[in-house]
Amino acid sequence: MKLADVIVAEAIIPELCANDRDGVVREMVTALAATLKLGDDVVASVAEAVLERERGGSTAFGKGLAIPHAKHPAVQGVVGTIARSSRGVEFRSLDREPVNLIVLLLTLQRYVVS
């Protein structure tokens, strides 16, 4: 599986409006939900799943990159989107630097890659 196979191009955000980690996650989940036609009730649930994962340990690797991810039963297969912040977002990165590129990945709770 290639990253290009799971990224939903219509949900890519060239410049984020949000300026904090939680806002970024919600903005990206909202973009995916709109493209995938998921209900508003699902947005809050999916965003909370991603943020719960983040609370367990940051997905920001350093060098300006974060890859937040979560499993959720409302998602079909593996989907994702990419967003950019030119000003940078505090994401509790390992190198303590702001994040500029975020790749959000969501998977079906019981998805098996073959």
Q: Are 2 and 75 in contact (CB under 8 A)?
A: no
Q: What residue numbers bound the domain in which 64 lies?
A: 3-107
Taking only the tens place, the pLDDT of each residue in 3-37 is 889 999 999 999 999 999 999 999 999 999 999 88
State the first-to-last Cα distance of the chain, in angstroms, to the nearest integer: 9
CATH number, domain at 15? 3.40.930.10
Residue 79 has pLDDT above 80, yes or no: yes
Q: Which residues have a catalytic role annotated?
A: 69
Q: Taking the CA atoms of the chain, what radius of gyration do you get in angstroms?
A: 13
Residues 6 or more apart in contact with residue 34 via CB below 8 angstroms? 11
Taking only the tens place, the pLDDT of each residue in 86-103 is 999 999 998 999 999 999
Residue 102 domain-assigned (yes or no): yes
Residues 6 or more apart in contact with residue 11 via CB below 8 angstroms? 28, 31, 32, 34, 35, 36, 81
Based on the structure, what is the number of domains in the chain? Answer: 1
Residue 112 domain-assigned (yes or no): no
Residue 68 domain-assigned (yes or no): yes
Percent of the chain with pLDDT over 70: 95
Residue 113 domain-assigned (yes or no): no
